[in-house]
Structure 1
Amino acid sequence: MNLLTDLFPLGWQHYLLGGLCLGAGVALLFVCTGRVGGMSSVFSSTWTYALRTRPFFQQARLVQSRGWRLVYALGVVLGAAVWWLWAGGGVAQTTQVPTWQLLVGGFFVGYGARLGNGCTSGHGICGLGSLQWPSLLAVLTFMATAFVTANLIAWGLA
């Protein structure tokens, strides 16, 4: 087998189309409104509804932007549902990873996004798209860490 079919057993075209849709959506949001559509900010602003006693979640920038960010998040979820039904054939994807490991991984991803001042998509799509040098450093760090981790797992060292 060749490398392309080994890396992408279900094909690569849907990944390319999905990436183009993400990039176009973020670019359209920025061009039409001047707003940056990073998902960790959407997550933080959504928590402003529930965590009213936490000063971090009551920052003016989060509270004042939560309305459009909630609509933005709903659009992402609905877009994913439409994509799944249309392109995925409506077949649910499953994993053999235990629920507790998914939760622990989710916690670390959330912590890393907060620590890194944004998530991978925010830095990779929005930050690089607007030529932000801190985003370039963040993306290079994310990618280097991912390469090292993937190789450690492949070699059975992790």
Structure 2
Amino acid sequence: MLETLSGPWHWFVSGAVIALVLVLLLFFGKSFGFSSNLRVICAACGAGKVNSFFDFNWKAQTWNLLFLVGAILGGFISTTWLSDGEPIQISQATVQDIQELGFAAPQDLQPQELFGSEALSDLKTVLVLLVGGLLIGFGTRYAGGCTSGHAISGLSNLQLPSLIAVIGFFIGGLIMTFLLLPLIF
């Protein structure tokens, strides 16, 4: 069993599991999204006394917090005990694109020059990560949800705002990948 769990799985397994979870959420009248957990955590910590956005019944969203904890715990378990230590397999075209930007091929999940602990000593990298995080946070709040919430729950519910948000996510990703990232690095 451990050998099956630690080996590579076919891509359709993830899709089938996501579809199963989504059907269960729809059945119980819930919607999926990770970014809503930040609002729930802030509300649970008392932020509703400072801002009305956080003043809601956060206890009704406890299930979503459990989902978040399960995702984090699952990632930890899979990388700690189910990984064979081999670097992640990515296409040669991606490796070439990364190298053209001045990064070495990732030996883990991402380039160490950008996400490793030594990157924190480079002001440019810290600024890129800080500005990127602020833009993602602002965009998530402005769009009323994150990519997972809009693309998985919103589109399955045939919500037009989610379709517009997902199209915007893709356009933003293309602009960042092909225009801004080469200029920055």
Deviation at 1:142, TM superposition (A): 0.8
**2:113 — aligned with what?**
96
Q: 2:79 aligns with which of 56, 61, 84?
A: 84
Deviation per CA, 1:19-52: give whole Å up to 9, x if none: 4433432332322x21112111122111112224
Which of 150, 160, 175 is the matching residue for 1:123?
150
What is the count of residue pairs matched by the alignment? 143
Matches within 5 A, 1:1-150: 16-31=12-27, 33-50=28-45, 51-53=47-49, 54-60=51-57, 63-85=58-80, 88-89=83-84, 93-94=109-110, 95-97=112-114, 98-99=119-120, 100=126, 101-150=128-177
Which residue does the alignment assign to 2:104?
A: none
Please give the root-mean-square deviation of Cα atoms over the aligned residues, in Å. Answer: 2.7
Residue deviations 1:61-114 (CA, integer Å, cap 9, x gap): xx2423222212112212323343466435763532134343432222111100
Change (3 A) 1:128 1:151: same
Contact residue 32 and residue 148 of structure 2 kept, 8 A: no
> How far is 1:145 from its partner?
1.5
TM-score by length of 1: 0.73
Change (3 A) 1:87 1:27: farther
Partner SS for 2:44: coil
CA contact (8 A) 2:48 2:54 kept: yes
TM-score, with structure 2 as normaliser: 0.64
Q: Specify every segment of 5 or more residues in structure 2 that has no aligned partner in the other structure, as ranges.
A: 1-7, 87-107, 121-125
Q: Distance in 2 between matches of 1:66 and 1:90?
A: 36
Q: Which runs of 5+ in 1 are unaligned?
A: 1-11
Larger Cα Rg: Structure 1 or Structure 2? 2
Query: Match of 2:169, as an amino acid?
Result: F
- Percent of aligned pairs sharing the same letter: 31
